Structure formats: C-alpha cells, structure tokens
Amino acid sequence: MKIVFLGAGSVEFTQGLLADLVAFPDLGEFEVALHDIHPERLETAEAAARVIAGGSKVTISAHLDLRRALEGADFAINMIQVGMIDATRVDFEVPARYGLRQTIADTIGVGGIFRALRTFPALDRIGRAMAEVCPGAWLLNYTNPMAMNVWYLATATPVRKVVGLCHSIYWTAHDLAELVGVPYEEVTYLAAGVNHQSWMLRFESGGEDLYPRLDEAIARDPELLRRVRVDMYRRLGYYPTETSEHSSEYVPWYLHDQAEIERLRIPVDAYVGISEDNVRQYEATRAALKAGKPITAEGTMEYAPQIIHSIVTGTSRTLYGNVQNRGLVANLPEGCVVEVPCVADALGVRPLAVGDLPAQCAALNRSYVNVNELTVRAVTEGRPEHVRHAMMADPNTAATLTLEQIDSLCEALFVLAQRHFVATMSFSGLKG
C-alpha cells in the first residue's frame, strides 16, 4: 500500500497523520511518499517522518516531482496551501483597508474566494497526474476552502474518488458532551450542512435529547452567551458545528458591527496569528532535527487515517465527509458540496442521505453555496466577473461594503494575485 502526502511541508500535520497511521498495527507494511514543491520544507518533513516512523513497518520516500510521488498510489492526502503565509497576509490586509473584517478567511468570503482561485490550478495538476499514474486511488482532501475545492475536483478534474475531511463536527460533539456533563462515548449525534456551517440535528444520549441540558448549561453561565455559535443556536434552534471565529464570517450579522465584535469577543484577523505560530513551530522542528534533538508527534485520529484503515481492513466506521450533493440533503442544491455522515469500509466511502435540513439552516447554507458556485463557475466557465459576483453574494462582504468598494477591492486583489501568484491564478483578467 502506498499513501501520498501532498503538501507534506506542512510538517506538524504530516507528523500527526503519520503517527495516526503507525498506530494501526493491522495495516501491515506500507509506503508514505512525501511531496512538496519547497525543497527545504520537504527535507524537514522527510527528516521528521523518519523519526516518527522509527523502526516501524513504514517506508518513507520524498519527492519534489508530483507524478513520481503519485505513481502507484492507493491514497493521496491533500493538505497543500498555495501561497502560504504571504498569500494569507494579502487576503487579510487588503480587505482590511476597505473596512472588511475577517477572522479565518479560508472558507467563503474574500479570503476563501481568492484562496480557491490560487488553489484550483494545483488541483488541476493533481487530478491529471492521478488519472494517469494512480487512477484507482482515493483523494482525501484537507485543503481549504473545502467545499469549493471538492466541488472543483469533482467537476473539473478526472478524479472521482474524492472526499473532503474536516474534524469540526467531531470536536463540536466532543465539546458539547463535556458542556452537558455526559461522556462523549455515551453521546450519539447527527449533523449535516456545509463544511464549517453544518448543524447538530440530533444530540442525544441513551435516547434522551441533550439539547435541554445544553439550554440549562447556557442559562447557568452567562459568559456562554458571549459566543457567536451560542448566539446563533439560541436564534436558530440548532447548534452550528464550527467555532465562533469561523461562524462569525459566514453570516451578515456580526463583523460589520464593532459593538457585536466586542459583545461576542470575536478575534478579528485571528488566522494571521495562527499562521505565524505555524511558521514558528515549523522553524522549531527544523532546528531540533538539525541539532539532533528528539521530536515527538501525538496522534490526532484524523479522519484520513481512519478511512485508510477502514478501506484496507474492512473495518466499518461512520464519520463525516464533504461530497457532492446527489440527493443527500434534499433542500440544498443538487451538485453542491455538502457535509454528511459517510460509511467507510472495504467498499470505500459511501455518503448517507439525511433528507431536509431545518428551513432556517438550509437558508443560511444556500447563501454559503452561492459563493461556492460562483467561484467555481468563474474558473470552469472562464467567467472572471463571477469572482466579483461571488463577493457581492458573500454575506459578510455584502453587509460591510458598498458595491463600488467591492469592485475596487476585487480589482486590487486581482492585481496583487497576478503580481505575486501569477503562476497559480486560473485566469489573467478581471473584467469579462
């Protein structure tokens, strides 16, 4: 068995995934092929991987060439970030000059849209290479913007065995269980929606609905009311599955208003600090490896290693994946990418239909889907004006900026993207 890590220079994530895989004693011998376009980061990832693999059954190889890495692969785990921290700073700093606030900027919104435009050409290369050298392999995607990337992969590249993976639903259930005082192992739940904006449709233990206990916990602790997702839950009736930082920028209600930012303690520009911390962690790992100091990696039990284990061993698991909507969520558009329960076993990854979402939840999700669709169409149809349309449709952007400001911001970001990331942009003009 061969597993390819695409974007292996994301060293900390590479270490965690490898630790997860090594922890399965019944996987047998396998190869992990590391790929990155940055030689220094690839060298660091390889050194870290060899330490973590130790004397185990894992063979480690490292490749700057994408096709060579993918040859004969059974699984490819995608975790690339095109442009890295320099692009992230542009995604935040330029919109901020227009008064547009963002927190994470990797899903929808201006940051998500331009991150997608940088990423789609890389997905093209990955999809074409996989079709030629490992056509039967599963592509397990972690790269954001998740829904846009999976939509693009499924419609514009030859890859068909693709699923997007995010642990937010698991962590939401885990944290809610702690909040209501029930062990996570005793909780059952059902969630669905779109990535970073799914909903806890059922939250139970032994047949008991745990939402009343959640209401009691909120009533006991007024500080919980100062969280965006608690505010959304109280108004919508279903708990959102992503953090307050994320959730605040997918709706039109919070970030344009300074009083709401203060009331709900929203950390504007949070992802810039996270990205800087990631760079420091990478540099610390590289320095430790060069000095011969020990490094450790804790297992994360991310979904990708679990899926690989299930397909290889036939162990059945239910987890959550991002896939095209083919009758899975009845009141969201057909063909968009939704987040639903999936069964992973020897047959692969099979999504489960959940029917209709509550109307108010579906309404918010459709606003999110609109941004996804316009961004994907901008590239697949060669319609760069759809980028501006996507920004106009984005809830937070539309609540903050005038149409003239949106036009100006869009043009400014295109100019910068072409200047600094020209090799990765999907088309060269703004006006269509």
The candidate with the shortest Cα–Cα distance to 57, out of 17, 22, 33, is 22
CA distances from 137 to 34, 160, 383 (A): 16, 9, 31
Residues 238, 358 contacting (CB under 8 angstroms): yes
Residues 228, 254 contacting (CB under 8 angstroms): yes
The 10 Å Cβ neighbour count of residue 334 is 11
Dihedrals φ, ψ of 358, to 5°? -50, 140
Give exposure, 274-303, as e/b (b: 16+ Cβ within 10 Å).
ebeebeeebeebbeebeeeeeeebebbebb
Active-site residues, by number, are 167
Please state, in angstroms and rounded to a whole number, the distance separating the CA atoms of residues 48 and 35.
Answer: 14
